[in-house]
Amino acid sequence: MGIGDGVFVVAYGNMGGAERLWWLLRHFGHEACAVIELDAWQGPLTTGDEGIEPAEFIPRPRDDDTIDAAELERRRGELVVVDARLPARWRGETNPLDQIPGRIPAALNAPWNETPPELPEGELVAYCGSGVTATVLLHRLHLAGREGRLYPGSWSEWEQLRLPVERDLV
């Protein structure tokens, strides 16, 4: 794969893919990684195949960067729960993606494609629709010096489990 100890990984992309790779690498113990906006790159770009030295990736999964549905439901009143979906989905407007529109009760909205707002102090948990774009929010918060946990099941699991839902009256 080419990723092993001593290899610094730089991920780039859009729509959350690079940040998801950054989060996954860190989750599995590879801290030597970063995300770059391709538009910000000032160096040369090459095309074609690159020679990559084989390396053995040894996963060392963390256990402090995720939260499951049961713990989130049990502790949601003491956590800063942040929904990274766009505002219409957070408000609970009907949409083609959600079987049950809404949000986790008391969740704040910090859309993944915007600069994060000021968030209250406390243990932070981020979620989105499927666990991908919440990693964009977690990456931005990390760059600002704040860490958080990912609820990987996100809204798709929460609604399937028929856990409590909050929505704005529209």
> Where in the sequence numbering do the catalytic residues fall?
128
Sign of CA dihedral 85, 153, 124, 136: negative
Of 136, 130, 132, nearest to 153 by C-alpha is 130
CA separation for the pair 146, 112 (Å, rounded): 16
- Determine phi and psi for 20, rounding to 5 degrees: -65, -40
- Determine phi and psi for 38, rounding to 5 degrees: -60, -35
CA separation for the pair 147, 127 (Å, rounded): 14
CA separation for the pair 4, 25 (Å, rounded): 11
CA separation for the pair 124, 108 (Å, rounded): 11
